A and B are shown apart, each in its own frame.
Chain A
Amino acid sequence: MAAGAVVAFSVYPLLLGALEGLTVVSIIVFNLLSVLLIFPLRGPLWCKMLWLGVGSLVGLAWNLVWLSLMSLTVGAGVFQMVHFVFGPAVDFMWIVPVWSLGLSSLASVERRKRGGKRGEPK
């Protein structure tokens, strides 16, 4: 957990100036959820670090796409409008799958490590 916290939160000062506000908040939320809920779980550290990195990269890529769209549609206002109306649904569209996939992959790695190849328990 400590390792995750150090990695996750040492990058914020670098990000704050360069990124759009909501992207920074999204990456903070992603990292917080990872550090609080995934890092303390049983499982290899490399897997947790990998998904923390993947999440941050996807967040940055999302920001890039977002900024590009904004710069392309400057003045038109249509994009802004779409952003305001659909924002809450769209802004976290990357966090939920990436974070869930991280947990899923951790569960799979842990399961393989224990040698369990049985069916999924219910």
Chain B
Amino acid sequence: MIVNLILSFILIVLVFIMLAYLARHLLFTLTALYYRRGQPHYTPHGLVYRPTLSVLIPAHNEEKVIGRILQRTTELTYPKDKLEIIVINDGSTDRTKEIIDEIAREHENIKAVHRNMNTGGNGKPAALNEGLKHATGEIVFCFDADYYPQRDIFEKMAAFFIDPEVGGVQGRISVLNEPESLVTRLVALERIGGYRVDQLARDDLQLVPQLGGTVVGVRRSLIEYLGGWDANVLAEDTDLTFRIYLAGYKVRYVNEAECYEEAVEDWRSYWHQRSRWAKGHMQCAFRHLWPLIRSRNLQLSEKIDGFFLLNVYFVPILVGLAWILGAALCLVQPPQWMPFFWASISISVYSATGNFAPFFEVAVGAYLDRRRRIYWLMPLLLLSFLYNMLICSKALLDLCVSRVVGNKRLTWRKTLHSGTGDNYVNMTNQKRW
């Protein structure tokens, strides 16, 4: 009897956590649908604000994709005299170095920074810090090597820095190689929910839009003041987001500043990438939760949203736990209120991970993007969510083990890119590297 009561109590707590997340995402969905009344964006296009920019592109064994992004940087519309591109060859053992050097020779504003195999290859934050030493622009942008930005992306993003309170700006990420496999299609769904609805709504509601690790701009003075990127954190982007907010600055999200990524194509790569994100995010939760609660630089609404955001990678674990507990309770003695609680678990398992966007949020994102066929994949969100339950549980276990054995430094596992994104970019007249 007592055991039954305790189990019921735990289940009720878990279900209320899930309901809180679902309510939050329903609010985001309604905001994305109605806040702007059909107006797609608010970028101050009339504004002419052109600060000097340094674009950091770290690359570790990226021979299949580095040529594409470097070629693209030569086609950007931002004034060339205000734009420097810094490519950091992070101890590559393939042809990355030769490709970078060849392109850098032809273009004056592309600088190559080489780290040798002894100093390089320790993860993206370390490479970014190395690039930061060479940066001279007022605003520092970061792009991953597999990305492909719009030509006028910097005009759209840099304009937001005219507000002195803005410390960082995040652009939208879409999947370039979406038709490649089931995994890329599911990642595309996650991106739609995450950016078109989630980030946009958080920006509209003046909550906490999150900086991703790429398509990101930060004030150089601010990032230098903060001591650069933390090389001990696996999710340096989430870490930076919270350090910016705790320092009293804001982050803005620019939906129309779009950049295309080459998404992971198989479940194995998906596991490695998400595992790194989950561990990094959990690290950030342990690190920033208390400072976030105590900070005087954030409003209550920002604190609440930040709290939800920091804990988002624990949610799949909690959903799994609620599922097991619920099933156990039903087997012993099904409580009368069970159908209502069961329904919240049911909605939760049809969610995208990363931001825990439920299926209705993802579908509304697709609708706002005027997509027609992608809705057919919505039931498969269940598949990726179940997979992410395992990923997040393993990540938490790994973190706990590393804490117990005293190994606080986690190894950075690089995401491999196949270069199939080239098939979806109009590169007919361009050289393939």
- When C-beta atoms are compared, the residue in chain A nearest to B188 turns out to be A122
The reply to whether B376 and A104 form a contact with Cβ atoms under 8 Å apart is: yes
Contact of B359 among A81, A100, A120 (CB under 8 A): A100
Given the known inter-chain contacts A99-B360, A104-B376, please indicate yes or no for A40 contacting B33, CB distance below 8 A: yes
Residue of A36, A100, A107 most packed against chain B (CB within 10 A): A100
Q: Tell me which residues across on chain A come within 8 A of B347, comparing CB atoms.
A: 29, 92
> Complex Cα distance A121/B371, Å?
7
- When C-beta atoms are compared, the residue in chain A nearest to B337 turns out to be A21
Cβ proximity bits A1-37 to B, threshold 8 Å, 1 near / 0 not: 0000000000000000000011011100100010011
A85 within 8 A of B: yes
The reply to whether B330 and A84 form a contact with Cβ atoms under 8 Å apart is: yes
The reply to whether A91 and B327 form a contact with Cβ atoms under 8 Å apart is: no
A96 within 8 A of B: yes
Contacting residues of chain A (86-122) with chain B, CB-CB under 8 angstroms: 87-89, 91-93, 95-97, 99-101, 103-104, 106-108, 111, 120-122
Cβ proximity bits B21-51 to A, threshold 8 Å, 1 near / 0 not: 0000010011001100000000000000000
> Complex Cα distance A101/B29, Å?
18
The reply to whether B343 and A37 form a contact with Cβ atoms under 8 Å apart is: no
Which one of B230-238, B361-369, B410-418 is at the interface?
A: B361-369
Q: Tell me which residues across on chain A come within 8 A of B370, comparing CB atoms.
A: 107, 111, 120-121
A41 within 8 A of B: yes
Q: Tell me which residues across on chain A come within 8 A of B343, comparing CB atoms.
A: 22, 25-26, 29, 91-92
Cβ proximity bits B325-356 to A, threshold 8 Å, 1 near / 0 not: 01100110000001110110111111000000
Q: Tell me which residues across on chain A come within 8 A of B330, comparing CB atoms.
A: 83-84, 87
> Complex Cα distance A86/B110, Å?
55
Q: Tell me which residues across on chain B come within 8 A of A108, comparing CB atoms.
A: 372
The reply to whether B360 and A41 form a contact with Cβ atoms under 8 Å apart is: no
Q: Tell me which residues across on chain B come within 8 A of A111, comparing CB atoms.
A: 370, 372
> Complex Cα distance A56/B340, Å?
18
The reply to whether B372 and A104 form a contact with Cβ atoms under 8 Å apart is: yes
Q: Tell me which residues across on chain A come within 8 A of B360, comparing CB atoms.
A: 33, 37, 99
Q: Tell me which residues across on chain B come within 8 A of A92, comparing CB atoms.
A: 343, 346-347, 349-350
The reply to whether B340 and A120 form a contact with Cβ atoms under 8 Å apart is: no
The reply to whether A87 and B346 form a contact with Cβ atoms under 8 Å apart is: yes
Distance from B196 Cβ to chain A, minimum over Cβ atoms (Å) = 12
B378 within 8 A of A: yes
Q: Tell me which residues across on chain A come within 8 A of B26, comparing CB atoms.
A: 36
The reply to whether B363 and A99 form a contact with Cβ atoms under 8 Å apart is: yes
> Complex Cα distance A98/B347, Å?
14
Q: Tell me which residues across on chain B come within 8 A of A95, comparing CB atoms.
A: 346
Distance from B245 Cβ to chain A, minimum over Cβ atoms (Å) = 30
The reply to whether A84 and B331 form a contact with Cβ atoms under 8 Å apart is: yes
Distance from A119 Cβ to chain B, minimum over Cβ atoms (Å) = 10
> Complex Cα distance A85/B345, Å?
12
Given the known inter-chain contacts A37-B364, A92-B346, please indicate yes or no for A24 contacting B331, CB distance below 8 A: no
> Complex Cα distance A81/B372, Å?
38
> Complex Cα distance A83/B338, Å?
13
- When C-beta atoms are compared, the residue in chain B nearest to A120 turns out to be B372
The reply to whether B34 and A40 form a contact with Cβ atoms under 8 Å apart is: yes
B379 within 8 A of A: yes
Distance from B15 Cβ to chain A, minimum over Cβ atoms (Å) = 11
> Complex Cα distance A83/B346, Å?
12
> Complex Cα distance A39/B432, Å?
48
Distance from A35 Cβ to chain B, minimum over Cβ atoms (Å) = 12
> Complex Cα distance A81/B327, Å?
9
Distance from A56 Cβ to chain B, minimum over Cβ atoms (Å) = 16
B9 within 8 A of A: no
> Complex Cα distance A40/B338, Å?
31
The reply to whether A22 and B342 form a contact with Cβ atoms under 8 Å apart is: yes
> Complex Cα distance A81/B33, Å?
41
Residue of B347, B364, B381 most packed against chain A (CB within 10 A): B347
- When C-beta atoms are compared, the residue in chain B nearest to A28 turns out to be B343
Residue of A33, A101, A111 most packed against chain B (CB within 10 A): A33
Given the known inter-chain contacts A36-B30, A122-B174, please indicate yes or no for A89 contacting B349, CB distance below 8 A: yes
Contacting residues of chain B (168-214) with chain A, CB-CB under 8 angstroms: 174, 178
> Complex Cα distance A81/B332, Å?
11
- When C-beta atoms are compared, the residue in chain B nearest to A91 turns out to be B346
The reply to whether A104 and B373 form a contact with Cβ atoms under 8 Å apart is: yes
Besides A87-B326, A96-B382, A99-B363, 16 more A-B contacts (Cβ < 8 Å) are A21-B339, A22-B343, A25-B342, A37-B33, A40-B33, A41-B33, A84-B327, A87-B330, A88-B345, A93-B379, A95-B346, A96-B359, A99-B359, A100-B363, A107-B375, A111-B372
Cβ contacts A to B, 12 pairs, < 8 Å: A29-B347, A40-B34, A84-B326, A89-B349, A89-B386, A92-B347, A100-B379, A101-B375, A103-B375, A104-B373, A107-B371, A111-B370
A interface vs B, CB < 8 Å? Answer: 21-22, 24-26, 29, 33, 36-37, 40-41, 81, 83-85, 87-89, 91-93, 95-97, 99-101, 103-104, 106-108, 111, 120-122
